[in-house]
């Protein structure tokens, strides 16, 4: 299954196998934690990383935009990973993407990593700290770090990123850590869109819904009880 319906705050949303969230009624696509330029930041620090990940990620993003006929792209923070040189490859790749989608309204929430290069984003997207699109409040950070917000906090259903959630699945005795969509009573945490990102397992409880992103498609993980655990990034 390449997409899975999520009913959030009365809205029909689609979790996509590419790690994006589509809002068909508004023709909006949401992603978080693209982390462009991460490979170069690591290479500058002497850590070997392959090239081309940013181009591949943006091709995946472009395919989702076109498949769902989106008019608006909302980046939920950490679009940029860190400080890079002015000739960093990700800049030209991003500019090419923006040029190819000239009619696309791009809104970028400012994440903790984006402080390294706000100017690159400001030239191509509308920058905001958070965005209210009823019935949702879009943020980079989840509403509380222990991820147990009150369902009736009056601020709208939160859609956020930042945590790079993973779910652990066991197959033939091997543990696989897979990106996932982590839905709770009043918020959804998106998986990191960037293919070079790492993450951490979710600390789910019984009323959570977790949808794993596997190479073959999306898989809903059966619910199980367990105590919440504080998660920090």
pLDDT digits (tens, 9 = 90+) for 28-41: 999 999 988 876 66
C-alpha–C-alpha distance, residues 119 and 233, integer Å: 24
- Cα angle vertex 89, ends 141, 33, to 5°? 15
62 φ, ψ to 5°?
-60, -40
For the cut 80, the answer to whether the pLDDT of residue 163 exceeds it is yes
pLDDT for 150 equals 45
Range of lowest pLDDT (49-53, 72-76, 139-143, 204-208): 49-53
CA angle 218, 201, 9 (to 5 degrees): 60
- The answer to whether the Cα torsion of 93, 96, 100, 105 is positive or negative is positive
pLDDT band at 112; cut points 50, 70, 90: confident
Q: How confident is the model at residue 196 (pLDDT cuts 50, 70, 90)?
A: confident
Which region among 57-66, 86-95, 104-113, 146-155 has the lowest average model confidence (pLDDT)? 146-155
Q: Summarize the chain as % helix, strand, coil (round to 5).
A: 20, 35, 45
Would you place residue 16 in the very low, low, confident or very high pLDDT band (cuts 50, 70, 90)? very high
58-98: pLDDT as tens digits: 999 999 999 999 999 999 988 886 666 667 787 889 999 99
Q: What is the pTM of this model?
A: 0.86
Backbone CA torsion sign across 175, 8, 163, 56: positive
């Amino acid at each position: 299954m390449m997409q899975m319906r999520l009913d959030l705050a009365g809205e029909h949303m689609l979790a996509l196998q590419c790690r994006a969230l589509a809002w068909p009624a508004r023709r909006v696509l949401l992603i978080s934690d693209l982390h462009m330029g991460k490979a170069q930041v690591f290479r500058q620090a002497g850590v070997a990383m392959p090239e081309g990940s940013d181009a591949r990620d943006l091709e995946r993003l472009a395919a989702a935009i076109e498949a769902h006929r989106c008019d608006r792209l909302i980046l939920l923070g950490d679009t940029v990973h860190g400080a890079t040189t002015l000739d960093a490859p990700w800049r030209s790749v991003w500019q090419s993407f923006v040029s190819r989608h000239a009619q696309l309204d791009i809104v970028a929430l400012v994440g903790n990593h984006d402080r390294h290069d706000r100017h690159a984003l400001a030239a191509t997207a509308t920058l905001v700290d958070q965005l209210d699109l009823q019935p949702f409040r879009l943020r980079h950070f989840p509403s509380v770090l222990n991820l147990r917000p009150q369902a009736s906090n009056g601020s709208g259903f939160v859609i956020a990123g930042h945590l790079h959630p993973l779910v652990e699945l066991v197959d033939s005795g091997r543990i696989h850590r897979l990106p996932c969509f982590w839905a709770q009573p009043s918020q959804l945490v998106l998986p990191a869109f960037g293919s070079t990102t790492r993450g951490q397992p979710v600390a789910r409880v019984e009323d959570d819904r977790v949808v794993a992103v596997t190479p073959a498609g999306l898989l809903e993980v059966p619910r199980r009880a367990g105590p919440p655990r504080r998660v920090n990034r």
